[in-house]
């Protein structure tokens, strides 16, 4: 008797396979649009509304003049990279038949506040460097995990977004 796996690492493999097949049949289905709506709530606080989820709060640490009630935007950016990598590991490991026992991704970055604070008009207000350390517990061999790592880092939408110039249009409406 043959059993077909429908879930590994809590990933719905038929759903991922159906999406892949649909895009192969109609490449235009790969073109997606994502959005968020952010509302200022006072001070350095704001909330991002994404689909029908509970709003994601944002605030600055007290040392930067905020109320320290939530992660700030640059911390959320690091979290977005870590979350995207986690999705990549879960999806690609599952597709390769690799069971993940535990996965933890530590992300940090170096940011110089001179430009943000108006002290250097020609500087870079963004991260100078971002680092991620992936800790994965699996029975897979080192070579298989190295291949998985290469695939994940080579296909991460957030990783690609952060590592390449992206045109950004910000208009005053």
DSSP per residue, 26-70: -GGGG------EEEEEETTEEEEE-TTSPPEEE---GGGTS---S
- Per CATH, the number for 72-164 is 3.30.300.20
- State the average pLDDT for the chain: 95
- 122-163 pLDDT, tens digit each: 999 999 999 999 999 999 999 999 999 999 999 999 999 999
The pLDDT of residue 109 is above 70: yes
């Amino acid at each position: 008797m043959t059993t077909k796996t429908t879930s590994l690492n809590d990933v719905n493999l038929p759903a991922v396979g159906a999406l892949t097949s649909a895009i192969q049949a109609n490449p235009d289905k790969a073109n997606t649009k994502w959005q968020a709506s952010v509302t200022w709530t006072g001070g350095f606080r704001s909330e991002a509304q994404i689909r029908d989820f509970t709003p994601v709060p944002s605030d600055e640490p007290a040392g930067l003049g905020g109320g320290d009630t939530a992660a700030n935007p640059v911390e959320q950016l690091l979290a977005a990279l870590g979350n995207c990598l986690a999705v990549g590991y879960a999806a690609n490991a599952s597709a390769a038949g690799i069971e993940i026992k535990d996965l933890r991704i530590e992300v940090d970055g170096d940011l110089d506040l001179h430009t943000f604070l108006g002290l250097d008009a020609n500087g870079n207000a963004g991260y100078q460097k971002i680092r991620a350390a992936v800790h994965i517990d699996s029975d897979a061999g080192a070579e298989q995990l190295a291949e998985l790592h290469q695939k994940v880092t080579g296909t991460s939408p957030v990783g690609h977004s952060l590592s390449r110039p992206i045109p950004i249009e910000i208009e005053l409406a």
